């Protein structure tokens, strides 16, 4: 079942008795929701684990892409660099660094230990969770299957594309009428932003009735927006977008964290919300209570169980092979 950011935020607003989002605006709640997803993965890395196909580079030191927070396990060698079908090869065993250093002290040196495409052993460093070492060193053609803890994608309000602005005569001012754009229901406030599709410009600002860039304005049909202060804009266009950060419907965005953690996310948002009111009596106690419930819900484990793949090493790992 897919969980949407709006689900978590609505329930937090009800518990906070702030359904109008006056004290705790939606843009604050979604920021804390993003923090909560990262906290879940930090304390329980398997909460968002993914299996990926990882081509190796030459040498013993290997890393996962920056979208992953930690290597959990290296499973096996692969014969193809494709996610589907995955054609498996030799399994990979975790080995203790001290054992390998004692058996083959020159294992990092390709002149002493020939590099191959097949990984026999993998070594983890607790202080470098984004990387691992392979033995023997790889020749740069190897491929392995890795299970890693992924970093959750941040959630932000959905954006409405308004179209483009074409510069007026002389390239100093342009205007755009929102006659073809779909206005928000009830004409509520949207925040306008823009980007340059091509060309160069300096000192640009978006103004409407004295309001500046990204200021909330009410959009209706045939509203005229003016782009002014263009220093240089030759053969280019300005792309307009609108974001309604005050409407809960614009947070109907699926989150990466599994549905089973949605209650924990509500508790985390509540914890951060009450922390904001720490100067009020009872708020700190409420914040602490919600954080304790959050930790209980995500099943916080001992550090060695969650962050150290070396705990998977057998009691007697034997020789490096």
Q: Which residues are paired to 228 by β-bridges?
A: 205
Q: In what order do the strands lie in the sheet with 131-139?
A: 58-63, 131-139, 121-123, 93-94
CA gyration radius for the chain? 27
Give pLDDT, residue 84.
Answer: 87
pLDDT tens-digit series, residues 185-197: 434 455 555 555 4
pLDDT at 80: 92
The list of the chain residues with pLDDT below 70 reads: 1, 159-244, 300-321
Q: Count other Cβ atoms within 10 Å, centred on residue 186.
A: 7
Q: For position 312, what pLDDT does the model report?
A: 56
- The pLDDT of residue 166 is 55
User: For residue 256, what pLDDT is reported?
Assistant: 92
Whole-model pTM: value is 0.72
Residue of 72, 73, 103, 78 whose CA lies nearest to 90: 78
Q: What is the pLDDT of residues 101-151, one digit of tens each?
A: 999 999 999 999 999 999 999 999 888 999 999 999 999 999 999 999 999
Determine the Cα–Cα distance for residues 131 and 125; give it in Å rounded to an integer: 8
Written as one string, the DSSP assignment of 79-95 is SSS-SSS--EEEE-EE-
pLDDT at position 279: 72
* pLDDT value at residue 158: 78
What does residue 150 show for φ and ψ, rounded to 5 degrees?
-90, 150
| DSSP 8-state secondary structure symbol assigned to residue 319 | S
What pLDDT score does 210 carry?
Answer: 31
Residue 245 pLDDT:
74
Residue 95 backbone phi and psi in degrees, to 5: -130, 145
Per-domain boundaries in the chain: 49-151+308-312
Give me the pLDDT at residue 146, please: 97
* Distances in whole angstroms, Cα of residue 129 to Cα of each of 96, 126, 133, 218, 310: 16, 6, 11, 48, 11
User: Distance (Å, rounded) from C-alpha 44 to C-alpha 59?
Assistant: 31
């Amino acid at each position: 079942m897919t969980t949407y950011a709006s689900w978590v935020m609505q329930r937090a607003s009800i518990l906070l008795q702030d359904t109008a989002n006056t004290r705790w605006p939606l843009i604050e709640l979604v920021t804390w929701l993003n923090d909560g997803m990262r906290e879940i993965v930090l304390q329980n890395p398997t909460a968002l684990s993914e299996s990926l196909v990882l081509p190796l580079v030459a040498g013993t030191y290997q890393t996962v892409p920056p979208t992953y927070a930690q290597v959990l396990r290296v499973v096996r060698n692969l014969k193809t660099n494709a996610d589907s079908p995955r054609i498996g090869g030799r399994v990979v065993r975790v080995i203790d660094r001290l054992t390998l250093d004692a058996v083959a002290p020159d294992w990092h040196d390709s002149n002493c230990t020939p590099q191959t495409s097949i990984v026999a052993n993998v070594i983890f460093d607790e202080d470098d969770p984004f990387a691992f070492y392979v033995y023997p060193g790889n020749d740069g053609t190897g491929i392995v299957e890795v299970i890693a803890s992924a970093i959750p994608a941040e959630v932000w309000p959905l954006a409405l594309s308004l179209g483009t602005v074409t510069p007026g005569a002389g390239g100093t001012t342009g205007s755009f009428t929102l006659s073809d754009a779909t206005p928000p229901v009830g004409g509520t406030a949207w925040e306008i932003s823009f980007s340059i599709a091509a060309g160069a410009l300096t000192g640009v600002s978006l103004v409407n009735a004295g309001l500046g860039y990204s200021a909330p304005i009410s959009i209706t049909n045939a509203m005229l927006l003016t782009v002014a202060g263009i220093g240089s804009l030759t053969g280019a266009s300005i792309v307009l977008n609108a974001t309604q950060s005050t409407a809960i419907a614009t947070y109907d965005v699926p989150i990466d964290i599994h549905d089973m953690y949605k209650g924990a996310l509500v508790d985390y948002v509540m914890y951060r919300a009450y922390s904001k009111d720490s100067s009020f009596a009872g708020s700190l106690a409420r914040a602490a209570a919600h954080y304790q419930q959050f930790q209980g819900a995500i099943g916080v484990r001992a550090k060695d169980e969650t962050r150290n793949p070396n705990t998977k090493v057998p009691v007697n790992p034997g020789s490096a092979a």
